[in-house]
Amino acid sequence: MSSANTLFSTSLQLANGLGITLGALCIRSGAWISETLMLPAIPGVSFRIWFALIGLITALALWDIIKLSADAGNNVSRKPK
């Protein structure tokens, strides 16, 4: 069971690092977009663009969930079919 804990901890740390990296990239791209569109006078525009980019990435992650059938979780929830 210790190998499962090691795998879980490693994947959790990897997910945290990737989340921080994604956030930094989105803030940088938000700053670049705001400079390109000549919007740097608006306070916090980089963070607003960053928030919108993270929302789009989250919406893209929902694509797999939308395609699932209605009874996809019956095996896990142990509900009768």
Evaluate if residue 63 carries a pLDDT over 90.
no
For range 25-48, the mean pLDDT: 82
Asked if pLDDT for residue 76 goes beyond 80, the answer is no
- How far does CA 21 lie from the centroid of its chain? 11
Mean pLDDT of 31-37: 84
- Tell me, what DSSP letter sits at residue 35? H
> Contact 30/45 with Cβ under 8 angstroms?
yes
Contact call for residues 45 and 64 (beta carbons, < 8 A): no
Write down the pLDDT at residue 80.
Answer: 62
**pTM for the complete prediction?**
0.56
Of residues 16 and 2, more confidence is placed in 16
